[in-house]
Structure 1
Amino acid sequence: MTAEIGRPRDGRIDVAVLRATVDLLAETGYADLTVDAIARRAGTSKPAIYRRWPGKAHVVHEAVFPAGAATELPDTGSLAGDVREMVRRTVAVLTTPAARAALPGLVAEMAADRALHAALLERFSDVLSRGLSERLAAAVARGEVRPAVSAADVVEAMAGMTFLALITRADGLDDAWVDRTAEFITKGLRA
């Protein structure tokens, strides 16, 4: 057992930093966002932020894409229902003002820095590698899904289609878009 030395971390700082990051993203965008500005808005110091996160991209990723109820796998009782709910949640997360402001900068940084890319995606590895992979394996065993489909394939289809639609569609992503996209992905998964 390892004992922590020093004062325990104040969880309120984490909450304040993540909230300040979301607020500032909506105001300034990703490119003009600085760790210094986040610290000032959160009422803390840059060193306090850097003790918790290695850099701006890490803070932004955690603030914009929090692990929680939205990242838990749905269980609607059917593959089609689960896919629709995953698409709906993807749209809900990617259409927030903070996500819209952060995505171009995060994507650019992740494309240029493979270590950053791996570190940021690691936050959701349990959902992908364990949860979704297990769900797909069970669907394969029932004959609902082709054996070659991976969790990464499903996530890339959902996130990729949603991200591209956000860029190309001026009319937004409504429930009809969610339904069509979920049906398209579900049909692509079927055995």
Structure 2
Amino acid sequence: MDHKILQATRELIDEIGYPALTVDRIATRAGVGKAAIYRRYASKAEMAFVATMDEQQVPAWTTTGSLYGDLLALVRVFHRRMATPAARHLAPALINELAVNPELDSRFKETFLAAEQAAFADIIEQAVARGELAGTVDPAMAHLLLLGSLASALYILNLPVDDALVTDLAAAAAAGITALAARHHSASDAVDERR
């Protein structure tokens, strides 16, 4: 039954968009009662999130052997996913729902954001191992620098995000991550010298 509900939700978002999505339409498409849906999901936004984002894995991307190249490969994959009409409709509603639904906010952080930040942790770890970074950087900060900027461009500023902008975002994030790693490394060295 869960699969039917989530599949119906995805299909309807693609066909009619998130604003026109209703629990009645989902129930009819899935062939289930509304009560079955409400037992599983507290809101339309939560159901749409689970159907379109939470069930999906972090998109596959190919490592390139450089910090900038890995960030560019990752952000290109995320751009394709985040720029869809369904994502553009759902993101503002989801942001609003996260602000008022602590349970959904926790689940969002523990699943979706944690998986994304794990991808950044891998990229940073590989860059440190290659000697590109002076030390590690908090994956949450790297995530904010790259995907936070992409989300802002797509969902808040409504910019026309093309590959040139995506490329610039990757370059800016790589520079920021490199600068943070150097700053943290220098601060760590200064603490060691005082001891």
Q: TM-score normalized by structure 2? A: 0.74
Query: 77-86 vs 17-26, which deviates more?
Result: 17-26
Percent of aligned positions that are identical: 35
Equivalent of residue 145 in structure 1, options 123, 133, 137: 133
Equivalent of residue 186 in structure 1, options 166, 174, 178: 174
Alpha-carbon distance, 1:28 to partner: 4.8
Report if aligned partners of 1:22, 1:63 keep a CA contact under 8 Å in 2.
yes
Q: TM-score normalized by structure 1? A: 0.75
* Residue number in structure 2 paired with 1:108: 96
1:126/1:29 CA distance change after superposition, 3 Å: closer
CA distance in 2 between counterparts of 1:165 and 1:99 reads 13
Whose helix proportion is higher, 1 or 2?
A: 2
Equivalent of residue 108 in structure 2, options 109, 113, 120: 120
CA distance in 2 between counterparts of 1:126 and 1:74 reads 20
Query: 48-57 vs 136-145, which deviates more?
Result: 48-57
Task: Kindly name which structure, 1 or 2, has the bigger radius of gyration based on alpha carbons.
Answer: 2
Alpha-carbon distance, 1:153 to partner: 1.4
**5+ unaligned residues in a row in structure 1: which ranges?**
1-9
Equivalent of residue 83 in structure 1, options 71, 82, 85: 71
1:165/1:99 CA distance change after superposition, 3 Å: same
Report if aligned partners of 1:90, 1:158 keep a CA contact under 8 Å in 2.
no
1:28/1:67 CA distance change after superposition, 3 Å: closer
Amino acid at match of 2:145: A
Please give the root-mean-square deviation of Cα atoms over the aligned residues, in Å.
2.7
* Residue number in structure 2 paired with 1:165: 153
Query: 155-164 vs 50-59, which deviates more?
Result: 50-59
Residues paired across the two proteins, number: 176
CA distance in 1 between counterparts of 2:117 and 2:80 reads 22
2:97 equivalent to 1:136: no
Amino acid at match of 1:67: Q
1:125/1:40 CA distance change after superposition, 3 Å: same
